[in-house]
Structure 1
């Protein structure tokens, strides 16, 4: 399996945004254990979860990881007891769940009610903050400077958590061209899907070990995808990456806010066009 190398920080791993996030989390935790609820999702979301827990360990945070479903079923007293803390400090994982089609905004108010304070790691916000039930004291991080800033104007910018990994070392440089396009609600309807396409992100979930995901991407020297975390993993491996737009502003805005400055090996395109015969 490939591994993430922190000896030589690359890309955005040591950026001021991650330092600010670390400092904010230190202040938020108040030297107590917090509850971490990973964003529920696919194998690409697993890269976010993997990077987040590595970030917590690297910075010596004390936390208890609780799946979303379990957290929703527990009372504040249960959560307080689980973390052995004076109050429930909850950290919600980064991702792109705040989109009408995913209905996470319907669940969020009940999750927020189970905590005294909540901190949301870098997310894309495509629904208004007020519809999610956040309190003024809750801390929200966004991962772009575009649409999310409009939907959650009091949020703080930080790069996607997967980018805190820095570089992913591989045993070789890969060869050939790999196509990893999505087929779900975020696809662009009339965009052709290349022959031999593999929507790798659907083959796992946020709790699936990352080795299979990374190995599949590492095989290729050039990657074409509209899956954000396929592009991030490939870019951190040093592959040549072509990232395409998804159905809303997410990919483009994260490219502009983070990927453009960090990776000369990654190019953004509005849409995929099959090569001429």
Structure 2
């Protein structure tokens, strides 16, 4: 396991640093929140960006971790543009499936962190010129106790901020309403003690779920275009999970967040190796409150 602190600080010393958070759902906001906390902890100065600007020329661009090097979601045009313009591109811990041609095109100005052994072996095989390291998902660096009772992003404050004109980084009313509606619907049907948070997209195992379920990674997504939206999404995500004692999920960042909160977690497989690989890499030995369920169909009573 590489020393991510030393690598980041040495690579970014005396340089202008931009952090580009990976676009996505509330799980990506959790990754970004852990990144904010970690950068602040190690004293790394950075500027958050959500689009490529001329300022990145001859600068360091750190691109957020996640599962974007994956045919489900991503075509690497954005990263190709960044690596051509920036002095150095650093990819925070991610999972990689395929993209051999993209990996082989990466030069010595690229550093890649992988968050599990399968991706690490794949990237090492194909990214022969880039610097490749193994590290934990950035969500593990969240200082979780800071957010459990934080009221800055509660529903009242979200709505109040959204009503202020010309506030570009306020959360849209339709996203606030979606979160409220989905929360109330789930809480009206489910046990007070158990959270079932299974995904409903292309990464699911396709199970027919016959119990109350809320895909909170989608329900609590406010986009990752600004620090406020990231923090609002992640904070509501954390506080909702914290209401429950038992968490059943195939969502990686629901499992990680619940593990950090000390919940009893039953962690199920997604449609490819990601969840199991990260369970083995980071959760199995360090979080005994997490049980790996694999491809066993969840039966919730």
Fold similarity call, TM over 0.5 = yes
Alpha-carbon distance change, 116 to 33 in structure 1, aligned in 2, over 3 angstroms: closer
Whole-Å separation in 2 of the counterparts to 1:152 and 1:166:
31
Q: CA deviation at 1:215?
A: 1.6
Q: CA deviation at 1:167?
A: 4.9
Q: Greater relative contact order: 1 or 2 (C-alpha under 8 angstroms, separation 6 or more)?
A: 1
Q: CA deviation at 1:175?
A: 5.2
Q: CA deviation at 1:274?
A: 4.2
Verify the 8 A CA contact 1:168 1:233 in the aligned structure 2: no
Among 17, 31, 44, which residue is 1:61 paired with?
44
The equivalent of 1:248 in structure 2 is: 272
Partner SS for 2:29: helix
Moved over 6 A (4+): none
Q: CA deviation at 1:259?
A: 0.7
Moved more, 228-237 or 162-171: 162-171
The equivalent of 1:145 in structure 2 is: 117
RMSD, aligned CA: 2.2
The equivalent of 1:83 in structure 2 is: none
Q: CA deviation at 1:32?
A: 2.3
Moved more, 235-244 or 208-217: 208-217
The equivalent of 2:140 in structure 1 is: 163
Partner SS for 2:4: helix
Verify the 8 A CA contact 2:120 2:134 in the aligned structure 1: no
Q: CA deviation at 1:152?
A: 4.0
Moved more, 255-264 or 127-136: 127-136
Summarize the alignment of residues 202-221 of structure 1 with structure 2, pairs less than 5 Å apart.
202-203=218-219, 204=221, 205-206=223-224, 207-208=229-230, 209=232, 210-221=234-245
Count of residues in Structure 1 that have an aligned counterpart in Structure 2:
245
Whole-Å separation in 2 of the counterparts to 1:129 and 1:28:
25
The equivalent of 1:42 in structure 2 is: 25
Among 102, 108, 123, which residue is 2:73 paired with?
102
The equivalent of 2:201 in structure 1 is: 184
